[in-house]
Amino acid sequence: MQLASAADAETATPHFLDGNWEGTLNWAPPPTEHNEPAGMKVRLHLYGEKAEVFTLGEDRRWKEIKPGKFKAVQYNFDAVIFAIDSSQGDCWDETWSFATALDNSNRLITRFSRVVSNVRCMKPDYESFGAQAAGLMTQQPAESAYTAH
């Protein structure tokens, strides 16, 4: 493919954030129910444009969220990891996104957003909703976790 001009070319950047990152993202606003966790333990596995997202369950085991659905866009020391999908046979559409930036202490500043639309459900008791969380993630040794593939 030939570009129309040099201005159309985007400079490729190395994937500085490739690797395994882990941290707790705290809900904003904090949960009001006593039985809700204060934060969500998350692992992000980044490799170029591929990403895997895991959350720590109540059974203390890591569970992959939306296997094969997440994509990543990296630019220098920032990245956006996202997945958009809908249910098979149900009526909801859902988006998960993580906006990240590397700080001066080699931690990943992370902002998480989840939105679910239940408009297709056509039922008044199926509300659309959203949630946000934020926190810092630290890079983990490659041998301590699975890598994105």
133 contacts 29 by C-beta, under 8 angstroms: no
Give me the CATH number covering residue 110: 2.40.128
Classify residue 7: in a domain, yes or no: no
Q: How confident is the model at residue 148, as a pLDDT?
A: 45
Alpha-carbon distance of 116 to 22, in angstroms, equals: 24
Classify residue 112: in a domain, yes or no: yes
Q: How confident is the model at residue 22, as a pLDDT?
A: 93
pLDDT tens for each residue of 42-82: 999 999 999 999 999 989 999 999 999 999 999 999 999 99
Q: Name the domain count of the chain.
A: 1
> Strand, helix or coil at 6?
helix
77 contacts 50 by C-beta, under 8 angstroms: no
Classify residue 59: in a domain, yes or no: yes
Domain that holds residue 131: 13-30+38-140
What residues of the chain score a pLDDT lower than 70?
Answer: 1-13, 30-37, 88-89, 143-149
pTM, whole model, 2 decimals? Answer: 0.80
Q: How confident is the model at residue 2, as a pLDDT?
A: 36
Q: What share of the chain is helix, strand, coil (3-state, %, to 5)?
A: 5, 50, 40
Alpha-carbon distance of 72 to 98, in angstroms, equals: 9
Q: How confident is the model at residue 54, as a pLDDT?
A: 97
41 contacts 135 by C-beta, under 8 angstroms: no
